[in-house]
Amino acid sequence: MTRKRLILFGLLSAAIACAALTTYWYNRPTTLTFAVGPAGSEAARLIDALRVALIRERSSVRIRLVNSDTPSDSAAKIAREDVDLAIVRSDVSFPATAVALAIWQRNPVVLAAPTSSGIERWTDLSGRTLGVVGRGIGFNSRLIETILREHGVQPASVKIVDVLPWETGDVFRKGLVHALVTIGPVATKPVADAMAGLVRETADGRVSLVPIREAEAIAERVPVLEAAEVVAGSFGSNPPRPAESYPTLSVLHYLVARRSITDAAASELTQQLFTLRPTLATQHPSAFRIEVPETEKGSAVQVHPGALAYLTGEQKSFVELYSDYIYILIFGLSLGGSALAGIIGYFGWGRREPVPGHLPEVLQLLRQARGSDDPELLDEIGSRADDIFVESIESSKLPGFDSSLFSTLMLALDRLNATLADRRRALAMYGEDEDEPDNQSSLAAAPLASAGRG
Give 164-216 pLDDT, tens digit per residue: 999 999 999 999 999 999 999 998 888 999 999 999 888 777 899 999 999 99
pTM: 0.68
* CA distance linking residue 395 with residue 392, whole number of Å: 5
Specify whether the CB–CB gap between 143 and 251 falls below 8 A: yes
Instruction: Please name the amino acid found at residue 371.
Output: G
Whole-angstrom CA distances from 37 to 8, 42, 86, 162 are 57, 9, 10, 20
Of 280, 186, 298, whose CA–CA distance to 241 is shortest? 186
What pLDDT is recorded for position 216?
A: 94
- Any residues with CB less than 8 A from the CB of 422 and at least 6 apart, and which? none
Specify whether the CB–CB gap between 339 and 388 falls below 8 A: no
User: Exposure pattern of 231-270 as b/e (b: 16+ CB <10 Å)?
Assistant: eeebbeeeeebbeeebebbbbbbbbbbbeebebbbbbbbb
What pLDDT is recorded for position 317?
A: 60
304: part of which helix (H) or strand (E)? none
Whole-angstrom CA distances from 91 to 136, 148, 252, 335 are 17, 16, 8, 57
What pLDDT is recorded for position 451?
A: 44
Greater confidence (428 vs 303) lies with 303
* CA distance linking residue 209 with residue 124, whole number of Å: 13
- Summarised one tens digit per residue, pLDDT across range 117-131 is 999 999 999 999 999
Of 48, 6, 114, 24, whose CA–CA distance to 284 is shortest? 48
DSSP 134: S
- Summarised one tens digit per residue, pLDDT across range 54-105 is 999 999 899 999 998 887 888 899 999 999 999 998 888 788 889 999 999 9
Longest CA–CA separation in the chain, Å: 193
Cα R_g (the chain), whole angstroms: 50
Band the pLDDT of 454: cuts 50, 70, 90: very low
- Any residues with CB less than 8 A from the CB of 177 and at least 6 apart, and which? 129, 130, 131, 161, 163, 171
